[in-house]
Every structure is written in structure tokens, then in C-alpha cells.
Amino acid sequence: MTQFNRRDFLRAVGATGGAGAMLATMGALGLTPTAQAATRGAPYRAPRPGDFTLTGRAAAKVVVLGGGIAGLTTAYELGKAGYDCTVLEARDRAGGRNFTVRGGDTTTDLYGNRQTARFSDGQYMNAGPARIAQWMVTLDYCRELGVPIEVFTNVNADAYLYNESAGMTAPVRYRAAKADVFGYVTELLAKAGDQGALDAALTADDRERLMEFLKDYGDLGDSFDYTGSTRRGYSVWPAAAGVPGVVDTAVPTASEVFASGVGRYFAFEFEFDQAMLMFQPVGGMDRIPHALSQAIGSRRIRTGCAVTEVTDRADGVTVTYTQGGRTRTVDADYCVAAMPPNILAKVPHNLGSGVQSALEAITPSSAGKIGLEYRSRWWETDHRIYGGITETDLDVTHIWHPSYGFHGPRGVLIGYYNTGSKADSYAALSPQAREARAVAAGVKIYGEKYRSELVSSFSHHWRQFPYQEASWHSTPGGPDAPRYKPLTQPTGRVYFAGDWLSYMDAWQHGAFTSARTAVTALHQRVLA
């Protein structure tokens, strides 16, 4: 992922010697306040009614294909300047992969599995996007649209790690795993330093600072040994006089810790898109498309309308679609195609082979989730886990504890969030068999309540879902590769938008910013 020129760190350190003179450049460590604006990308300027005042031009008629985040955003943004937008959405609801499942929601997958969610009032699962990083434009839309947000619990020291293939017979908490891994790793480095192994790489000052950091970071003793730590947690937590707390003294050896592979999960929380704090809309991610739809106006969004043909002409675009078994058409000045590329590729059009081969080059991926509703929040009362993600090497991969409804009577765990062949293998099962398999995995980690407290489940697999057939997409070479130019530039009067045309595929941020790009280009053309 790193995109930098390689620098020789050892040489750099050797060249600097003491540290004092270099400190004037410490601003480079991060982003200065004055540079903040730049971190949000080029400023976006939404179309406004006043844009047309002096031009003699008027807002155009635009047909938007697909009512997912990119399509809705296109209609919303163009609507700000008075464009006459029509959104055609194949499914019975807008939002696309932004899909919050609540009691009563019904789906039928491509295998014919029909499910109706039986979640209690107030309980839901976000089957699609579920988390938002602080820097993402998604939060700007939440603010602008008045969608309240709350913390999404992406990382939790008290959640579990469980690597069955490494021989673990019980889960370990993140806090214990981190204490042990960092304890032993810092001990190793401190001892290497003690033996002079770092003398060539570090000045005496740097070495002293490093040793101080290692001791603190690893909770090492005076002789730089790791012998356990209160950071691991307690078997009896400290309380009143008489209860000083009991720390587990059965600290595993370094070899055991390394062999367990628990350290592989730690870098996740450093990733630029996953680092806490993260956020979610209060009440479900679909509060975003719901608010967008309200702002656009429901009369402009036609659901149950599957696009069957797109014809670009010199003076406009004609889109044919079916609704309730009848074929209809929309004529517009422009079209923004915000459908999944793999679906759009199946639609007859006259946009040329460049468009078609670009659409076909973008390949669909698989992901699945199951929501497990429980009659009690036993993970809070019995395990003292309030939110967060348990990581496993089982085929369920990730187990999510809910980030809402703490201390409530019920709760919905995400029993699996898996991708690729693991997701496909679950998708191939009946919903009942998916539940049984997910629960069997969870029981290994959490015990029998994972089965006995279960009320109902609902599973969703985007690859096997009509009008999506992908959880997200792979765009070989990146969206700015030459082969995708017929998509990143307008083809005739047709523009394209979607997270799949961004560098943040699978994130709403990609859909929002891609829509903004299409809107900006279209609006400039209309104004020109």
C-alpha cells in the first residue's frame, strides 16, 4: 500500500546524530491546522439555482440509473440547482447496498431462498455498509441531512480473538493478547539493544529514548523482562478493600504467543479506513438513503423499475425500463448511470464497445452477513463485551457485537461477516443451514448461550442478490487506468458514477465522491 520513495532509514538516522536540530520539522509528523482543509480533497461546490441566473441557460432533465448512494446523491445534488431528475431503481426500495434489515423485511436471493426478517422492534442489522471513518464525506452528508450519528465500535479490548487452527481451545481477549505480544516483542528489542545490536543504527540519545518507550509500551520490568501485566486483565477485578484483584499468573510463553497468531489482527485498527473512532447513523445506515430520498422527493424516485436499454442520441438520452411487467421509457437531456457495473454490462446500449469492455473488466466480489437476534444481551452480562468485533480464523471470520441498544432486552449480533469463497459457501446453504453453521462456530468461542438464547436470524449475500450480484468490485489497475476512460469521462450524454469508479470501492465515501464528480462535470457542461 505504501506509495513513497524508499528511504534508507539507517542512513537517515546516522546522518542526523542528535535530535534537537530536527525538531523544527516536527510539523511534518502530522497535519498542521492550516492544512486541514486540504485533507478533505478538492473543495466540492454544489450546484445552485443562482448558477443559471446570468447564463441564459436552464437546468436540464436528467435520468439517473440506480437508486443506490451514488444515484441518490446525483439526484440530490443536481436537485439543488433545479435539475429535473428521475431515478430508476430496480428494487422496491432505494439505497442499493445500503440496506438495513428490520423485522418484516423480505428478500429472495438468486437461489430462490426467501427470507422474512423477524427482528424485534428497534433491532436491525446493516447488511451493507455499517461504519464511517471521521474523514469520510459520508459524515458531511449525515450533518447536512440531519442524520444523527453515534460511535461504531470497530475495536474493543474486551472482544475476543480465536484462532482454532493454531490450537486455541478458548478465546483470548484483545487486551490480554496485546499485552503479551507487545510485552515479548518489546523485551526482544530491548535485549537486542542491550547487547549492542542497535548501536550501528541508533545514536546514544535515540537508543535511550527507544528503551524508555519499549519499557512503557511493553510494561517491562526494570531488567526489561516481560512477566505479565495488569493490562492483560484480571480473573478477579480490583474492587473494595479486601479485593485487590487477581491477575492471571498463567502468562503464556513468547513461543506460545507467537504461535497463536493473535498478533495478525492488531494492525487492522491502524488502517486509514478502519482506525477508531468510527461512526454509524443512529437507527440504521439506511437513515442516509432515507434522508436523501426525502430531500429528492419520492415522486422523483421510481422503484421496481429495471433498466432494459440505454440509447444515447445527439440531443438526449432514452432509457427503457420495465415496471410491473410493462415497458416504459424516459427521455432526458442527460443520463447518469449509477448502477453496479456488472448489472449495467447486461443492459443493451449504444454506448460503444469501449464502455462495454470497461464495464466487463470490473469484476464482482462476494460478502455475506448473518444477523442473529438474541433474547438477552448475554455478551454484555456474561462476557462483559459491549460492542466491538471478535476476530476468528473460522469461516465466520468476523463476529460483530452491536454498537447500539446497550443494556437493552435484546440484541442482534453479526454472526458472520465473511468474504470470497467463505461467503459463497454460506450463500450456497439454505438460510437455516447458514444459521446452524454460524451458531456452531460461535458456540466454540462464546459457549452454549450462543445457541440457546437465539431467537431468529437473517442472512444476506450480495453476490447472490438480484440487481446487485456483487458486494463490491475489483477494478484492475484502478479507476484511472486508460481502459476505464469511457466511464470516468462522459460517453455522449451519459455519465457514470459509483463507488466502483472511485479509490474507495465498497465505501459510501466512494459513491458520494464519484457522484459529486459526475454532477460537477454535468453541471459545468450545462452551464458552458
Q: Which of 54, 121, 240, 482 binds a second copy (CB under 8 A)?
A: 240
Stretch that binds a second copy, among 93-101, 230-238, 308-316, 392-400 (CB under 8 A): 230-238
Q: Which of 57, 116, 237, 440 binds a second copy (CB under 8 A)?
A: 237
Residue with smaller CB distance to a second copy, 3 or 53: 3
CB of residue 470 to a second copy, shortest distance in Å: 18
124 binds a second copy (CB under 8 A): no
**Per-residue contact track with a second copy, 405 to 434, x per CB under 8 A?**
-xx---------------------------
* Dist CA 124 CA 117 (whole Å): 9
Q: How many CB atoms lie within 10 A of CB 493?
A: 21
* Dist CA 441 CA 162 (whole Å): 11
Q: Which of 77, 158, 286, 453 binds a second copy (CB under 8 A)?
A: 158
* Dist CA 339 CA 65 (whole Å): 6
Q: Which residues contact 451 (CB under 8 A, 6 or more apart)?
A: 439, 442, 443
End-to-end CA distance of the chain: 39
Residue with smaller CB distance to a second copy, 98 or 508: 508
Residue with smaller CB distance to a second copy, 15 or 54: 15
Instruction: Give the angle subtended at the CA of 469 by the CAs of 468 and 470, to the nearest 5°.
Output: 90
Stretch that binds a second copy, among 121-129, 136-144, 310-318, 337-345 (CB under 8 A): 136-144
Phi, psi (deg, nearest 5) at residue 455: -105, -50
DSSP, collapsed to helix, strand or coil, labels residue 309 as strand
Q: What is the residue whose three cell numbers read 432526458?
A: 332
Residue with smaller CB distance to a second copy, 381 or 432: 381
Phi, psi (deg, nearest 5) at residue 196: 85, 5
Report helix angle 420-427 to 431-446, nearest 10: 120
Rounded to whole angstroms, what are the CA distances from 502 to 474, 507, 514? 11, 9, 6
* Dist CA 337 CA 65 (whole Å): 5
Q: Which of residues 471-490 bind a second copy (CB under 8 A)?
A: 478-480, 484, 487-488
Stretch that binds a second copy, among 118-126, 266-274, 283-291, 361-369 (CB under 8 A): 266-274
Q: What is the residue whose three cell numbers read 438495513?
A: 100
CB of residue 451 to a second copy, shortest distance in Å: 13
Number of residues that bind a second copy (CB under 8 A): 176
53 binds a second copy (CB under 8 A): no
Residue with smaller CB distance to a second copy, 33 or 50: 33
Q: Which of residues 361-400 bind a second copy (CB under 8 A)?
A: 381-388
Q: What is the residue whose three cell numbers read 546522518?
A: 15
β-bridge mates for residue 132, sequence order: 279
Q: Which of residues 16-35 bind a second copy (CB under 8 A)?
A: 16-20, 22-35
* Dist CA 69 CA 95 (whole Å): 6
Residue with smaller CB distance to a second copy, 32 or 53: 32
Residue with smaller CB distance to a second copy, 8 or 92: 8
Stretch that binds a second copy, among 73-81, 93-101, 152-160, 461-469 (CB under 8 A): 152-160
517 binds a second copy (CB under 8 A): yes
CA dihedral sign of residues 273, 274, 275, 278: positive
CB of residue 257 to a second copy, shortest distance in Å: 7
Report helix angle 204-218 to 174-194, nearest 10: 150
* Dist CA 16 CA 304 (whole Å): 66
Q: Which of residues 165-204 bind a second copy (CB under 8 A)?
A: 166-173, 175-182, 184-185, 187-189, 191-193, 195, 197-198, 201-203
Q: Which of residues 309-348 bind a second copy (CB under 8 A)?
A: none
Residue with smaller CB distance to a second copy, 154 or 459: 154
Instruction: Give the angle subtended at the CA of 89 by the CAs of 113 and 500, to the nearest 5°.
Output: 85
Stretch that binds a second copy, among 91-99, 111-119, 247-255, 301-309 (CB under 8 A): 247-255
